[in-house]
């Protein structure tokens, strides 16, 4: 039971410490707010003084602006004259642009025709490539046939040479037999 009370006392002490800390924070915050209030009050006073000065300055500025406005009116008249000149220039440029647009349209038409021709040429090239591939295949086949024929010719030439040699040997044997026969 004592430990329970001791625990409760400890809890109360901790709560008191927390409350004291919170009070200290609140006092500090109040002090800060009070200082801010004083600062803002001084700032308001300064602002009011500044506003009076500004009002006086504004009167002077308005007077200067009115004088400046007269100058600007003169300038505005000059600018209107310039604007009129620019409008005339714009009309001229629009005419030139219209001619350029027509030229661009013609060039685009030419380009479209050229693309169409290129398409046709690509198609022709593709067909020719296919034909070349076929011819190359045929040529390759014929090369194989020629190689085979050369081999056969070589074999026939070898056989012919052997036959000639045999014939020569037979002729020699016949001579020898005839000679023996005569003897």
Question: Which residue range is the domain that position 92 belongs to?
Answer: 1-181
Listing DSSP states for the chain in one string gives -HHHHHHHHHHHHHHHHHHHHHHHHHHHHHHHHHHHHHHHHHHHHHHHHHHHHHHHHHHHHHHHHHHHHHHHHHHHHHHHHHHHHHHHHHHHHHHHHHHHHHHHHHHHHHHHHHHHHHHHHHHHHHHHHHHHHHHHHHHHHHHHHHHHHHHHHHHHHHHHHHHHHHHHHHHHHHHHHHHHHH-
Q: How many domains does the chain have?
A: 1
Question: What digits encode the pLDDT tens for the residues 83-135?
Answer: 999 999 999 999 999 999 999 999 999 999 999 999 999 999 999 999 999 99
Residue 2 has pLDDT above 70, yes or no: no
Question: What digits encode the pLDDT tens for the residues 58-97?
Answer: 999 999 999 999 999 999 999 999 999 999 999 999 999 9
- pLDDT for res 39: 96
Residue 1 has pLDDT above 70, yes or no: no
- pLDDT for res 183: 82
Question: What digits encode the pLDDT tens for the residues 20-65?
Answer: 999 999 999 999 999 999 999 999 999 999 999 999 999 999 999 9
Which pTM does this prediction carry? 0.35
Grade residue 4 by pLDDT with cuts at 50, 70 and 90.
confident
Question: What digits encode the pLDDT tens for the residues 149-159?
Answer: 999 999 999 99
- pLDDT for res 6: 87
- pLDDT for res 102: 94
């Amino acid at each position: 039971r004592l430990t329970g009370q001791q625990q409760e006392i400890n809890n109360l002490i901790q709560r008191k410490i927390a409350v004291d800390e919170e009070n200290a924070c609140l006092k500090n915050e109040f002090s800060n707010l009070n200082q801010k209030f004083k600062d803002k009050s001084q700032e308001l006073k300064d602002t009011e003084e500044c506003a009076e000065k500004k009002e006086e300055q504004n009167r002077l500025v308005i007077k200067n602006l009115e004088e400046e406005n007269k100058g600007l009116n003169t300038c505005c008249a000059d600018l209107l004259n310039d604007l009129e000149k620019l409008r005339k220039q714009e009309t001229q440029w629009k005419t030139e642009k219209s001619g350029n647009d027509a030229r661009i349209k013609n060039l685009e038409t030419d380009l479209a025709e050229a693309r169409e021709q290129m398409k046709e040429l690509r198609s022709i090239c593709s067909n020719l490539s296919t034909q070349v591939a076929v011819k190359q295949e045929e040529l390759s086949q014929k090369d194989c046939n020629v190689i085979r024929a050369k081999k056969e010719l070589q074999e026939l030439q070898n056989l012919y040479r052997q036959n000639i040699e045999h014939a020569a040997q037979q002729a020699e044997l016949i001579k020898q037999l005839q000679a023996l026969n005569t003897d």
